[in-house]
Structure 1
Amino acid sequence: MVEETKKKYSRDYLTWTDEMDKVLLDVFVEHHNRGDQGQNGWKPHVYTAAIKAIRDKCGLHVTKENMSRMKTFDKHYATISKILSQSGFGWDWVNNKLLMDSDDVWNKYVQANPKAACYKNKEVKNWEAICTIYSKDHPTGEGAMTGAETEAQPPEPDVVAIKDSSKMPQKRQRTCDAILCMLGDMKCSFQDALKSLEPLELPKVTPPLEILAALEKIPELARSDMLRAYGKLILSERLFHALMELPMDFRKEWLLTLNEKNNI
């Protein structure tokens, strides 16, 4: 009886490697981009795809229960994104860890947020993929945790238990809304900047030949008066439009008045 009880609650352990993490996140990024994440969490086929990818690419058999690894990434995002929102912090894309202006900046932050202390030199790989999948706004539905509650919990270790799903109750899935992460925001900002650099449409300019042809149509307009008016109209699109709005029998008198007024 004792042996049977021990067997029932025995568990093996799975160690997550960098390769497995990348394969797992690649699958979730792909399905995130397809819109397979909604208010009720990830669609079931996403977990199936992740399990198959790890089996095919890493040669390991995992179950849906092992997908709790995604909670670790969620906690990383909740903590690190909060830090990056503060002045004096950045992200080192080469070494996969936080950058800070000074130890004083870090010490002041940790004093107010002691649970983040372990992240000072912590290496978090695949940050770009994590940013794509998660957002700073955490769900509020049943079983969900706030950002503060998530941050307060320590990150799960890289070793997780493989449980017999037939004997253990299923864990409730957290809900999550897929919105633009910081990289998406950067992309939109870059596109907006490009739009601001697009050349403005130039105003229409009437060709000189068209102006000359219009003047030649005015009855009894002397050659000297025509040349004076031409010199004025090619410099002002507004004056030419004003001329063309007048009836034909008004145009000569108006041009002569314009010439006299400007002493041309």
Structure 2
Amino acid sequence: MDAILASTLIDQINEGNKAEGDFKPQAYQAVVDKLRNELGIFIMMDHAKNRIKVWKKHHATITDIQTYTKFTWNDEKKMLEIGMNDFAQWNEYCKDNPNASAYMNKRIENWDDICALVSVDRAIGDGALETENQGAHISDATSGESSIKKLKRDRLADAVTSFAETFKEYMISRNPPKPDSKEVYDVVSRVVGLDRYEVLKAVKRFLNNIEEFEMLKTLPESEKLDWVILCLQS
């Protein structure tokens, strides 16, 4: 569900359905329609908005940890790795930042998606705040106004550049090398509950649909059978 939500919103960005700070209503409607059509999940636009709020919380908390602490982010595992040697310092940090406690050694499966969707908003928002703070110390009104405008332009340019780089990395990650038939067969044949014919039929489908196969690999074992059956029935 998160994968479909993210990919749909990325498509909506490409179509221009994102204003500064939030998506347009038609973007959320596209998410609702996509989930209903592909997964049979009936949700409202508010559900999608709430999920994005959760992602923004993930991004804000982890980005602050990456920026202001020495704790290590493992980009391969998509998690903050807190070892025993760092445990005491981590507990001290969490006393002042209680939201961080939930992220110790917790894998964020869709971290790349979250960065692609959230990072530009945070960059622009932080830039605006920094600009206001600096502008407060400018005594001359005329030069102050000019400086504020320049700072905003510079910060916005940095934010756009940062987002472009993140988006490029995201698109590369969304287009992994096509799996070969052996890999697909090995993964599908381990799904408990499929007969031989269903395995072969699923292999044929997933060879032609990489995204569905990638989602199958990321699902917990208890949900893989339902996903395969859903794909075969669509």
Q: With the length of structure 2 as denominator, give the TM-score of the two structures.
A: 0.48
Of structures 1 and 2, the one scoring higher in RCO (CA 8 A, sep 6+) is 1
Q: With the length of structure 1 as denominator, give the TM-score of the two structures.
A: 0.43
Bigger Rg over Cα: 1
